[in-house]
Amino acid sequence: MWSLSCALLSAICCAQAQAQTLGLAQVLEAARQNLDVSVAQQNLAAAQADVVSADRAPFPIFTAKTSQMYLDKGVNGNQGIGAGAFGQKNIDKSGGIDWTWERGNKRGLRTQSAKQQALAAGADLQDILVMQQITAAAAYFDLLAARERNQEMQTLSQSALQLSKSARLRFKAGDLSAQDTARLEIEAQRAQADARSAQLDQQRAVLLLQQITKLPINLNTWKIEADWPSIQAQAPTQGVLQAWVDQRADVVAARERVAAANAALELAQAQKKADVTLGSSLDHDPRVSNRMLELRLSVPLIWAYGFEGEIGRAQAQLAQAQTLFEKTKLEASADFQRLLEEFAAALERETLYEQDILPRARKVAEQAERAFALGASSLTDLLDARRTLRATLIEAAFTRADYAKAHEAWRLRTNPVLSDKR
């Protein structure tokens, strides 16, 4: 008996340990770590690596050579290669280093362009974080709405089934016609079909949330918190602020790419300043001297071409970046306006359903059932009231989800994630 109690206690503790709670905060955190965010993080890491590779001077070049070997005089001749160790042979041996001096601040411009691209990649990451959280929050609220709809449909199905059984008993007692009894049975079957459809919608919502967050959600073991946002007194009315547009991550990324394209244009123009290669060599030739120094300077001769192709391409890319920047700003402003209007409309609909339509539909259905049970109303009135309630419950669930999604999207967009906390 004692061992059985210990086993049951152990099983309960294990089940409690395995049970997990899922709320809006957990969903948003999981969205910050999904695969799309990982790809954006890898792009940022690559862009930061480009900064390291851009911010370096050309490598010096070491050159070793031998010359002045008179093979026609023989190996042992006085003027030939000669005998003995290699250092004593009649060979001109030299070793030297050449280094290219980049003029026109090419290294600084190259580094600046890479840094701006890295900043743009960082802003892209922030934009991905916000978008993934908005998508995950929408899927989470869809799951809550599907769960509520499923619960309501199950309740209505049970109620309709009970009413159908009561109608069968009344028919046997001669208190209800066969036609009314059949209509109530059909209504019960329709309610069961709606309940099954609600279960399917709930499972679809779970699968979609799993796909976005990569969380192994199990409705049988997980506790799903209903983190619905509270209904605000009114939606924001100040309109879209320019500061929101300027600080939005996709706008920041487009602005940084304009700066990167500008630096790339200056780098292309700097190609007109020819780089100078400086070098020196130390020579050793036993026939002449053991220490001879050679100094070198080489400059490319830029004739008949002024890098017009590179400059033209950089100018076109700068113009393209500026155009995309203006387009991104317009789209961001329009998106904020859309979010604001959706928020206001969803708030109005949710307030109407929550405070007026849904309570009245429930009250009408309850009154119709009591009146039908007392024989004070017709079956048609009862079925109409129940169908109205069923349609209202479905609409109320979707309306609540729409408001929650609009509320969270507005909150995330007007309070963007500033840094990746991973």
Per the rule left: phi > 0, alpha: psi between -120 and 50, beta: everything else, 82 is: left
Cα 382 to Cα 146: distance, rounded to the nearest angstrom: 26
Cα 37 to Cα 420: distance, rounded to the nearest angstrom: 10
Residue 132 has pLDDT above 90, yes or no: yes
Task: Tell me if 64 sits within 8 A of 88, measured CB to CB.
Answer: no
pLDDT at residue 1, rounded to an integer: 45
Residue 168 token pair: 């069968």
Cα 371 to Cα 52: distance, rounded to the nearest angstrom: 80
pLDDT digit string, tens, across residues 357-388: 888 888 888 888 788 777 777 767 777 787 78
pTM value? 0.78
Residue % of the chain over a pLDDT of 90: 35
Nearest Cα to Cα of residue 185 among 199, 205, 166: 166
Residue 170 has pLDDT above 60, yes or no: yes
Q: Where does the pLDDT of residue 13 fall: very low under 50, low under 70, confident under 90, or very high at 90 and above?
A: very low
Q: Does residue 383 or residue 16 have the better pLDDT?
A: 383
Residue 328 has pLDDT above 80, yes or no: yes
Q: Measure the N-to-C terminal CA separation of the chain; round to a whole number of Å.
A: 49
pLDDT digit string, tens, across residues 108-129: 999 999 999 999 999 999 999 9
Residue 406 has pLDDT above 70, yes or no: yes
pLDDT digit string, tens, across residues 261-315: 999 999 999 999 998 999 999 988 777 777 888 899 999 888 888 899 999 999 9
Give the phi and the psi of residue 267 in degrees, each rounded to 5: -65, -40
Q: How many CA atoms lie within 13 A of 204 on its CB side?
A: 10
pLDDT at residue 131, rounded to an integer: 93
pLDDT digit string, tens, across residues 225-249: 888 888 876 666 666 788 888 899 9
Cα 217 to Cα 205: distance, rounded to the nearest angstrom: 11
Q: Where does the pLDDT of residue 199 fall: very low under 50, low under 70, confident under 90, or very high at 90 and above?
A: confident
pLDDT at residue 418, rounded to an integer: 40
